Amino acid sequence: MPDRILRTSAGVLGGLIIILGLTYTWLGITWLISPTPTRLAGIEWAPIGSHTVGIWWIAGGLVALIGGAWSVRPVAAGIGAFAAILTPAVVAGIFLVSVWHGNDHGIITAGSYAPYALLAAWATWRSGRASEDTAHAIAATRHDPQEG
């Protein structure tokens, strides 16, 4: 539905990137205002704080949001999709590494952030496949007048 509200977005992928961008921005805000003990346990091994993770979520969310909103431009769609994949993948990776540093709940948190990256990657791949399928279908329906 965001793709129908914002006429600048390119279909379902653009709408999904907008939704993910809003979600990531909200996650970043919650990291800034509410650094819970389990969140802090996942990053205590790294030389970063909860504000760094919050800013990462917000930055990635805004890039995805803008890329999704202007996804009629392929470059903007690509940048938005990249941000939608990379942002949660990095945070999930941080929590996955925290398991080796004694955070038993890191795998749970990594597992809750990784699906965002997987969803964005799948939708981006599927969107590209749908474009290829459409182009092949159009080419197959064309009639060459020289063939008779």
Percent of the residues in the chain that have a pLDDT greater than 90, as a whole number: 56
More confident residue, 59 or 47: 59
Q: CA 134 to CA 98: how far, in whole Å?
A: 44
Core vs surface per residue 110-122: b (16+ CB within 10 A) or e: beebbebbebbbe
- Which pLDDT score, from 0 to 100, does residue 41 have? 87
- Which pLDDT score, from 0 to 100, does residue 7 have? 56
pLDDT tens for each residue of 81-138: 999 999 999 999 999 999 998 888 889 989 999 999 999 999 998 887 544 444 444 4
Percent of the residues in the chain that have a pLDDT greater than 70, as a whole number: 80
List, as one string, the DSSP characters of 39-93.
Answer: HHHHHTTTT--HHHHHHHHHHHHHHHHHHHHTTTSHHHHHHHHHHHHHHHHHHHH
Question: Is the CB of residue 84 less than 8 Å from the CB of residue 127?
Answer: no
Model pTM greater than 0.85? no
Instruction: Report the candidate in 93, 71, 94, 96 with the shortest Cα–Cα distance to residue 82.
Output: 71
